[in-house]
Amino acid sequence: MTHTLHRRADEYCPDPTIKDVVVLSMASKGNNREGANTRLKKIFMIFHKHAPVNLADDNRGGLLTGMKPEEIIEQATDKAYMGAVFTDYATLRDVLSEIKNEDPGMSVVVSGEFNSIFPILKEIGLKPHTVSLSLGVFGKKELVPSEEILAITSMCGHGMISPELVRELIASIQRGETTPEEASEKMAKGCTCGIFNPKMAAEILKKITKRE
């Protein structure tokens, strides 16, 4: 899934113990979509069990857009697109192990650090079907926002978090009107597919506002 491909928050988060790990699952049209909602609900519940910092069905919204887990489950269809964000690789290992044991027959996509993900896959007996990587930004880079702001906005791969919103919230934090945690949750509401990492965003905001 290319909308999780260009994330760069790991490079700018001041806390090395906080990671940016995204797991997605959906059915394939013309292949295994019929009756997929039951299996996707199982995957959603596995995600939920391991306390992700964000969780959603891209077609409906998620926890940080105001929905409750039971609402997401109730409304899930065969076209459901389950996404979750975790902040450590030990949890990723547990999540993938449970999905493997359940064997729901759904495509699962993981975004994160190759040198952390590949050992986990080998350990639990999984082999990646496809590997994609981002080559970065080309062209007139002077026209794009700063690297730290891109680190935040790129955590919403559909571009639903504006750089101007990030700048506005940075100024609001500096004025003492809000906290980095509150600001990151406000931004997360715009990412309906549930792949924005609010915990990492808050740490990056702390770094920016302390420096400036």
List CB contacts of 8: < 8 A, sequence separation 6 or more: 147, 150, 151, 154
Long-range CB contact pairs, 47-52, < 8 A, 24+: 47/23, 47/82, 47/84, 47/95, 48/84, 49/98, 50/86, 50/91, 50/94, 50/95, 51/91, 52/84, 52/85, 52/86
Q: What angle do CA 147, 210, 188 make, to 5 degrees?
A: 60
* DSSP string across 26-82: E--TTTT-TTHHHHHHHHHHHHHHT--SEEEETTTEEGGGT--HHHHHHH--TT-EE
Token pair, residue 2, equals: 């290319």
Burial class (CB in 10 A: 0-12, 13-18, 19+), 26: buried
**Alpha carbon distance 205, 198 (integer Å):** 10
What does the pLDDT read at residue 211?
A: 64
Q: Is the pTM of this model over 0.85?
A: yes
Are the beta carbons of 157 and 195 closer than 8 angstroms? yes
Please name each of the domains of the chain with its CATH number.
2-124 (3.30.70), 141-211 (no CATH)
Q: What is the pLDDT along the chain (212 residues), one digit of tens a residue?
A: 578 988 999 999 999 999 999 999 999 888 889 999 999 999 999 999 999 999 999 888 888 988 999 999 999 999 998 999 999 999 999 999 999 999 999 999 999 999 999 999 999 999 999 999 888 889 998 999 999 999 999 999 888 999 999 999 999 999 999 999 999 999 999 998 889 999 999 999 999 998 65
Amino acid letter, residue 69 = P
